[in-house]
Chain A
Amino acid sequence: MAEFIVDKDGIKRYLVTITVNGIKYTKMVKANSLLVNFLREDLDLTGTKKACEQGDCGACTVLLDGKPVNSCMVLTISVDGREVTTVEGLASNGKLDILQEKFIEHSAPQCGYCAPGILMSAKALLMRNPNPTELEVREAIAGNLCRCTGYVHYVQAILDAAAANQERKDG
Chain B
Amino acid sequence: MAKEFSYLNFNRNKEYSYIGKSLKRTDILDKVTGRGKFTADLKFSNMLYGKLIRSTEAHARIIKIDTSEAEKLPGVRAIITAKDVPSIKYGLSPARYDETIFCIDKVRYYGDKIGAICAVDEETLYKALKLIKVEYEVLPAVFTPAEAAKEGAPQIFEEYPGNINTEIHLEFGDVEKAKKEAYYIRTDRLQGQRTVHGFIEPHCSIAYWEGKRVTIHSAHQSAHYLQHHIARIFNMKEGDVRVILPYIGAGFGGKLDVSGLDVAAVALSKITGQPVKMFFDLEEVWYNGRARHGMDMKYTTGVTKEGKILFVESEIILDGGAYTGLGVASSYYAGALLTVLYDFDNYRFDAYRYVTNLPPCGAQRGHGQPHPRYAFESHLDHIAEDLGIDPIDIRLLNARRANTVTPNGYEVKAYYLKEANEMARDVSGWKEKKGKLPKGRGIGVGNGGFVTGAGYCMYRTDLPHSIAMIKVYDDGTHAVVYTNAVDIGQGSDTVLTQMAAQAMGYPYEDITICTRDTDLSTLDFGAYASRQTLMAGWAVKRAGEDVKRKILAQAAEMLKVKEDGGYRFGKLTPEELECEEGIVYVKQEPAVNITFAEVARAYFVKHGVLIGRGYYHPGKLGGTHKGAAVGTSPAYSSATQIAEVEVDMETGLTKVVGTWDVHDSGFVVNPQLLHGQVHGAFSMGIGETIWEKVIFDEKGRVLNGNFAEYRLPTALDMPYVESLVVDTFEPNGPWGVKEVGEGATTPTLGCVANAVYDAIGVRISELPLTPEKIWRALKEAEGAKEKGGK
Q: Given the complex, which residues of B lie within 8 Å of A119, measured CB to CB?
A: 32
- The listed residue (B27, B30, B197, B718) touching A152 by CB distance below 8 A is B718
User: Which stretch, B370-378, B610-618, B709-717, touches the partner chain A?
Assistant: B709-717
A53 to B126, CA, bound (A): 15
Q: Given the complex, which residues of A lie within 8 Å of B252, measured CB to CB?
A: 147
Contact, CB under 8 Å: B201 / A51: yes
State whether the Cβ of A76 lies closer than 8 Å to any Cβ in chain B: no
A152 to B718, CA, bound (A): 8
Contact, CB under 8 Å: B201 / A113: yes
Contact, CB under 8 Å: A107 / B22: yes
- The listed residue (A50, A87, A100, A149) touching B40 by CB distance below 8 A is A50
State whether the Cβ of B46 lies closer than 8 Å to any Cβ in chain A: no
A20 to B199, CA, bound (A): 29
Count the A-B residue pairs with Cβ separation under 8 angstroms: how many? Answer: 165
Contact, CB under 8 Å: B200 / A145: yes
Contact pattern, B 16-29, Cβ under 8 Å of A = 1, otherwise 0: 00000010110111
State whether the Cβ of A111 lies closer than 8 Å to any Cβ in chain B: yes
* Complex: chain A residue closest to B249, CB-CB: A113
- The listed residue (B247, B682, B716) touching A111 by CB distance below 8 A is B247
- The listed residue (B282, B488, B672) touching A51 by CB distance below 8 A is B282
A49 to B43, CA, bound (A): 15
A141 to B716, CA, bound (A): 9
State whether the Cβ of B491 lies closer than 8 Å to any Cβ in chain A: yes
Q: Given the complex, which residues of B lie within 8 Å of A52, measured CB to CB?
A: 282, 706-707
* Complex: chain B residue closest to A113, CB-CB: B249
Interface centre among B43, B250, B713 (most CB of A within 10 A): B250
Contact pattern, B 93-114, Cβ under 8 Å of A = 1, otherwise 0: 0000000000000000000000
Interface residues of A in 102-129 (CB under 8 A from B): 103-104, 106-107, 109-116, 119
State whether the Cβ of A47 lies closer than 8 Å to any Cβ in chain B: yes
State whether the Cβ of B733 lies closer than 8 Å to any Cβ in chain A: no
- The listed residue (B672, B683, B715) touching A155 by CB distance below 8 A is B715
- The listed residue (B25, B28, B36, B716) touching A139 by CB distance below 8 A is B716
User: Which stretch, B176-184, B289-297, B584-592, B673-681, touches the partner chain A?
Assistant: B673-681
Contact, CB under 8 Å: B31 / A109: yes
- The listed residue (A44, A53, A103, A110) touching B680 by CB distance below 8 A is A110
Contact, CB under 8 Å: B200 / A59: yes
Known contacts A147-B200, A150-B682: does B28 contact A109 (CB below 8 Å)? yes
List 24 contacting pairs A-B, 8 Å CB cutoff, sorted by A.
A45-B34, A49-B38, A57-B200, A87-B33, A88-B34, A104-B28, A104-B29, A107-B491, A111-B200, A111-B488, A112-B32, A112-B489, A113-B199, A113-B201, A113-B249, A114-B200, A116-B34, A147-B197, A147-B680, A148-B489, A150-B683, A150-B713, A151-B715, A152-B676
Q: Given the complex, which residues of B lie within 8 Å of A86, measured CB to CB?
A: 34
A100 to B31, CA, bound (A): 9
Contact, CB under 8 Å: A49 / B715: no
A49 to B250, CA, bound (A): 14
Q: Given the complex, which residues of A lie within 8 Å of B708, measured CB to CB?
A: 54, 56
A47 to B41, CA, bound (A): 8
Known contacts A52-B706, A110-B490, A147-B712: does B676 contact A104 (CB below 8 Å)? no
Q: Given the complex, which residues of B lie within 8 Å of A88, measured CB to CB?
A: 33-35
Give the distance to chain B from A122, nearest Cβ to Cβ, in Å. Answer: 11
Contact, CB under 8 Å: B22 / A150: no
Known contacts A49-B201, A51-B200: does B715 contact A153 (CB below 8 Å)? no
A148 to B488, CA, bound (A): 10
State whether the Cβ of A84 lies closer than 8 Å to any Cβ in chain B: no
Contact pattern, A 50-82, Cβ under 8 Å of B = 1, otherwise 0: 111110110100000000000000000000000
Q: Given the complex, which residues of A lie within 8 Å of B453, measured CB to CB?
A: none
Tally chain A residues at the interface, Cβ within 8 Å: 53
Contact, CB under 8 Å: B200 / A46: no
* Complex: chain B residue closest to A106, CB-CB: B672
Contact, CB under 8 Å: A111 / B250: yes
Residue numbers of B with Cβ under 8 A of A are: 22, 24-25, 27-38, 40-41, 43, 197-202, 247-250, 252, 281-282, 488-491, 672-673, 675-676, 679-684, 706-708, 712-716, 718, 721
State whether the Cβ of A35 lies closer than 8 Å to any Cβ in chain B: no
Interface centre among A113, A115, A139, A146 (most CB of B within 10 A): A113
Known contacts A51-B200, A107-B22, A145-B200: does B707 contact A56 (CB below 8 Å)? yes
Q: Given the complex, which residues of A lie within 8 Å of B675, measured CB to CB?
A: 152
Give the distance to chain A from B714, nearest Cβ to Cβ, in Å. Answer: 5
State whether the Cβ of A154 lies closer than 8 Å to any Cβ in chain B: yes
Residue numbers of A with Cβ under 8 A of B are: 40, 44-54, 56-57, 59, 86-88, 90-91, 96, 100, 103-104, 106-107, 109-116, 119, 137-139, 141-155
Contact, CB under 8 Å: A103 / B202: no
- The listed residue (A103, A148, A153) touching B32 by CB distance below 8 A is A103
A49 to B712, CA, bound (A): 18
Give the distance to chain B from A64, nearest Cβ to Cβ, in Å. Answer: 17
User: With A107-B22, A148-B489, A151-B679 given, can you name 13 additional A-B contacts, CB distance below 8 Å?
Assistant: A45-B34, A49-B38, A51-B202, A88-B35, A104-B28, A109-B31, A137-B715, A138-B716, A139-B715, A142-B716, A145-B200, A152-B676, A153-B679
Contact, CB under 8 Å: A112 / B27: yes
A106 to B712, CA, bound (A): 23
Q: Given the complex, which residues of B lie within 8 Å of A113, measured CB to CB?
A: 38, 199-201, 249-250, 489
A125 to B197, CA, bound (A): 29
Contact, CB under 8 Å: B198 / A112: no
Contact, CB under 8 Å: A150 / B200: no
Interface centre among B31, B679, B714 (most CB of A within 10 A): B31
Top 6 closest pairs, chain A to chain B, by CB: A47-B34, A111-B489, A112-B31, A113-B249, A150-B679, A87-B34
Interface centre among A110, A111, A137, A155 (most CB of B within 10 A): A111
Contact, CB under 8 Å: A147 / B32: no
A40 to B40, CA, bound (A): 10
* Complex: chain A residue closest to B673, CB-CB: A107
Q: Given the complex, which residues of A lie within 8 Å of B40, measured CB to CB?
A: 46, 50
Contact, CB under 8 Å: B247 / A112: yes
A115 to B36, CA, bound (A): 11
